[in-house]
């Protein structure tokens, strides 16, 4: 059973932290959700910060894996690859909005936790930059600061993932079909933005 407890805690914590926010979720609540004593939770993760960090590192790792897989499965065209990556990122973000909520909280959390999260993603980011530069030199993607490209991708993902939430916050109830159309359009815009000018 042992290891299962850890996994269960991690899963419950991910969902709860993401949905309600790290501060709003007490250790008691997580423990109750998992069906275990709070002390058991503190046995696996010596402090709440440790738990938060573990959750984030796990999320970063899953993200990395998903992105790598997406890159491999896409064909050679850089625009296709970028779209595949964006899709890979927003798929879990849409399915589990918790994740995005958590990642947004990173900058607020203790610096140690934040840095750990960064360092987990750093290699991927570095590889991406190198790749973009290469393809820009080959003229297969619009020449621009990689940060711009990252910014565009990020805007697309957050646009996609938080739209339902935001639309709802001004009183609109979008259907899933409508959301799918929005996503398609946003992706088309991203692609147009990155296509090299002839």
Partner DNA sequence: GAATCTGTCTACCAACTGGTAGACAGATTT
Partner DNA sequence: AAATCTGTCTACCAGTTGGTAGACAGATTC
Minimum distance from residue 38 beta carbon to DNA (Å): 6
Q: Burial-class residue 90 by CB neighbours within 10 Å (0-12, 13-18, 19+).
A: buried
Q: Figure out which of the listed residues 11, 15, 40, 179 binds DNA, where binding follows CB under 7 A.
A: 40
Query: CB-wise, 32 or 148, nearer to DNA?
Result: 32
Query: Of its own copies, DNA, none, which one does residue 171 interact with (CB within 5 to 8 Å by kind)?
Result: its own copies
Minimum distance from residue 106 beta carbon to its own copies (Å): 5
Size of the site for DNA (CB under 7 A): 21
Minimum distance from residue 65 beta carbon to DNA (Å): 25
Instruction: List the structure tokens of 4.
Output: 């299962």
Q: Please list, in sequence order, all residues whose beta carbon lies within 8 angstroms of the beta carbon of residue 159, skipping any fewer than 6 positions away.
A: 186
Q: Which residues bind its own copies (CB under 8 A)?
A: 19-21, 23-24, 103-108, 114, 117-118, 121-122, 125, 144-145, 147-148, 150-152, 154-156, 158-160, 162-163, 165-172, 174, 178, 181-182, 185-186, 189, 192-193
Residue tagged 């711009």 (tokens) = 148
| Burial readout 64-77 (b: 16 or more C-beta within 10 A, e: otherwise) | eebbeebbeebeee
Minimum distance from residue 20 beta carbon to DNA (Å): 10
**Which parts of 96-155 interact with DNA (CB under 7 A)?**
none
Cα-based distances in Å from 122 to 89, 111, 126, 129: 16, 16, 6, 11
Per-residue contact string for residues 49-88; x = within reach of DNA by CB under 7 A: x---------------------------------------
Query: Of DNA, its own copies, none, which one does residue 44 interact with (CB within 5 to 8 Å by kind)?
Result: DNA
Residue tagged 């290891």 (tokens) = 3
Residue pair 98/120 in contact (Cβ under 8 Å)? The answer is: no
Query: Of DNA, its own copies, none, which one does residue 155 interact with (CB within 5 to 8 Å by kind)?
Result: its own copies
Query: Of its own copies, DNA, none, which one does residue 148 interact with (CB within 5 to 8 Å by kind)?
Result: its own copies
Instruction: List the structure tokens of 134.
Output: 């290469």
Residue 26 to residue 17: CA distance in whole angstroms: 9
Cα-based distances in Å from 33 to 3, 11, 36: 17, 10, 8
Instruction: List the structure tokens of 157.
Output: 């993902």
**Which parts of 18-37 interact with DNA (CB under 7 A)?**
25-29, 36-37
Residue 34 to residue 187: CA distance in whole angstroms: 38
Name the residues that contact DNA, by CB under 7 A. 1-3, 5, 25-29, 36-40, 42-44, 46-49
């Amino acid at each position: 059973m042992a290891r299962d407890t850890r996994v269960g805690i991690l899963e419950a914590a991910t969902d709860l932290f993401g949905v309600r926010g790290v501060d709003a979720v007490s250790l008691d609540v997580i423990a109750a959700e998992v069906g275990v004593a709070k002390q058991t939770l503190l046995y696996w993760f010596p402090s709440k910060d440790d738990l938060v960090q573990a959750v984030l590192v796990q999320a970063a790792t899953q993200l990395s894996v998903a992105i790598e897989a997406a890159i491999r499965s896409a064909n050679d065209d850089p625009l296709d690859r970028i779209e595949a990556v964006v899709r890979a990122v927003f798929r879990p973000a849409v399915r589990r909005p918790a994740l995005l909520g958590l990642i947004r909280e990173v900058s607020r959390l203790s610096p140690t936790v934040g840095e750990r999260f960064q360092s987990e993603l750093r290699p991927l980011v570095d590889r991406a930059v190198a790749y973009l530069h290469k393809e820009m030199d080959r003229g297969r993607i619009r020449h621009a600061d990689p940060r711009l490209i990252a910014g565009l991708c990020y805007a697309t993902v957050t646009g996609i993932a938080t739209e339902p939430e935001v639309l709802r916050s001004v009183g609109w109830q979008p259907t899933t079909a409508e959301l799918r159309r929005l996503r398609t359009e946003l992706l088309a815009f991203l692609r147009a933005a990155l296509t090299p000018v002839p």
